[in-house]
Structure 1
């Protein structure tokens, strides 16, 4: 069976900038949305080339912060990873989610 891997995803430049502002580790993020798109594009290609499924874990600053607070995470790399893993597990359970093509 293919693995389902959640990828922290930002729908547009505004969402990216707003999210970076609430992250406790903004220095760990690419400086621009365009650089993030390039990086995540490479990450998704690696996931798919291994026969796995990349699933979007859409990060909206408000709902991501609430999710982190409810699950005991900070809005940082660990929180983003935990959220992406949560989305991947939900996809495996329900089949609902957005696959990155």
Structure 2
């Protein structure tokens, strides 16, 4: 049986977290600290993987993400983060 394609999971580095929260149009919906976000993200990854989903962490780097959103004329929101992660995974699979 073929494995399903990997699912990109937006991932943030601790040093970028504050800057990303400011960059995201919905950043106020994220936990105020990296530690709180990281704990929730780790739990989400665990749950996805328990379900057998092939989840891969995709780093969201502030400048790269801003440029990606600008080039596509999209808001820097939840939807864009997931689209970005999906695109990165697809590019890696095609390479």
1:50-92 deviation per Cα after TM superposition (whole angstroms, max 9, x unaligned): 2222212211111100011112211111111111111222233
TM-score between the two structures when normalised by the length of structure 1: 0.82
Q: How does 1:16-31 map to 2 (within 5 A)?
A: 16-31=17-32
Equivalent runs, 1:1-101 vs 2, <5 Å: 1-12=3-14, 14-94=15-95
Question: Which secondary structure state, in structure 1, belongs to the residue aligned with residue 9 of structure 2?
Answer: strand
Q: Which runs of 4+ in 1 moved over 3 A?
A: none
Gaps of 5+ in 1: 95-101
Root-mean-square deviation (Å): 1.4
Distance 1:3 1:29 in 2: 27
Match of 1:97 in 2: none
Residues in 2 aligned to 1:28 and 1:51: alpha-carbon distance in whole angstroms: 28
